[in-house]
Amino acid sequence: MDARFQNSRRFFPADILAEWGEIFAVFDEHSQDSGNVSYGVQIEERRYFVKTAGAPDATAFLDHPARCELLHNAVRVAESCDHPALPRFHRVIESAHGPMLVYDWVDGELLRVPGARRDDPASSHRRFRALPVPEVVAVLDTIFDLHVALARLGWIACDFYDGSLIYDFSTHRLHVMDLDLYHRGPFVNEMGRMFGSSRFMAPEEFVLGAAIDERTTVYTLGRCILNFLGDGTDDETRFRGNADLLALARRACAEKPDERYQTVEAFWDGWWEAHG
């Protein structure tokens, strides 16, 4: 099988994949604004998700070398953390368009929908928010368990939002993907407004020169509670969890990092006490 990878650097990703199996899905500039191009490919009985940085001349916010570097970072995340919520990562193959990251394909629906469809009852977003509270709590539990594991390895969440979540409504299984921007260790915000959805981002992710650390992750996890068990605000009349969970989310989402849980682990302890 490895003979198939020889000289792969000379070939385009789609040609390599079409040689191996059947491409059944493409995520390109029609659905993504990252500049990345990804594929669903079936090889014999198995389905894979293959992510690439797209063509070198494709215009996006990041240029091709920067997109490739993020994919190499995604490899570091995947190789450092083996968690059941992450689609299994297999390998990197070099192509004419840079690295191709091969993951297992996971079934389900992306929980992010375009803003205009967020109020549509048929959307995955609204159906998810209408699930029984214990089912939503189980999903939050998976997200938090993963982030405890990542935080222990030093990974700070960046660009995590409902577009990173694939939920299978029939099996109740959640997968988390697109952790390409996670950062190992605290760092300084050098962008001003960083990448991400403002529904999940901490105040310091908008401030040039601000410190980004584990408490930023805590904020994002708190926002998950408010977005999935509430209406995205901390309005108690719209919140479906108990009072302790709302208090936990409010503390996690304190404006000042000093007033939040100081570690993901401390947040996790609070989560267990609040929903147990």
Ligand X SMILES: Nc1ncnc2c1ncn2[C@@H]1O[C@H](COP(=O)(O)OP(=O)(O)O)[C@@H](O)[C@H]1O
Where along the sequence are the contacts to ligand X (CB under 6 A)?
A: 27, 32, 34, 36, 38, 49, 51, 87, 103, 105-106, 110, 163, 177-178
Tell me how far CA of residue 227 lies from CA of 118, 230, 238, 243, in angstroms.
Answer: 12, 5, 11, 16
Exposed/middle/buried for residue 94 (C-beta within 10 Å: 0-12, 13-18, 19+): middle
128 binds, among Mg ion, ligand X, none (CB under 5 to 8 A by kind): none
Q: Is 47 helix (H, G, I), strand (E, B) or coil?
A: strand
38 binds, among Mg ion, ligand X, none (CB under 5 to 8 A by kind): ligand X
How many Å is the maximal CA-CA distance in the chain? Answer: 61
177 binds, among ligand X, Mg ion, none (CB under 5 to 8 A by kind): ligand X
- Determine the residue with CB nearest Mg ion: 178
Q: Which two tokens stand for residue 198?
A: 């403002």
Q: Smallest distance from the beta carbon of 137 to ligand X, in angstroms? A: 24
Q: Smallest distance from the beta carbon of 248 to ligand X, in angstroms? A: 28
Comparing CB distances to ligand X, the nearer of 105 and 268 is 105
Q: Smallest distance from the beta carbon of 101 to Mg ion, in angstroms? A: 13
Q: Which two tokens stand for residue 204?
A: 């310091």
Instruction: Tell me which amino acid residue 46 is.
Output: R
Q: Is 46 helix (H, G, I), strand (E, B) or coil?
A: strand
Q: Smallest distance from the beta carbon of 256 to Mg ion, in angstroms? A: 30
Comparing CB distances to Mg ion, the nearer of 36 and 123 is 36
Q: Smallest distance from the beta carbon of 30 to Mg ion, in angstroms? A: 14
CA-angle at 232, arms to 184 and 181, nearest 5°: 20
What phi and psi, each to the nearest 5 degrees, are found at residue 66?
Answer: -70, -40
What phi and psi, each to the nearest 5 degrees, are found at residue 241?
Answer: -90, -175
Comparing CB distances to ligand X, the nearer of 164 and 216 is 164
Task: Report the alpha-carbon distance of residue 220 to residue 165 in Å, rounded.
Answer: 14
27 binds, among Mg ion, ligand X, none (CB under 5 to 8 A by kind): ligand X
Return the residue of 178, 204, 205, 214 that touches Mg ion, per CB under 5 A: 178
Comparing CB distances to Mg ion, the nearer of 178 and 205 is 178
CA-angle at 80, arms to 257 and 185, nearest 5°: 30
142 binds, among Mg ion, ligand X, none (CB under 5 to 8 A by kind): none
Comparing CB distances to ligand X, the nearer of 53 and 156 is 53
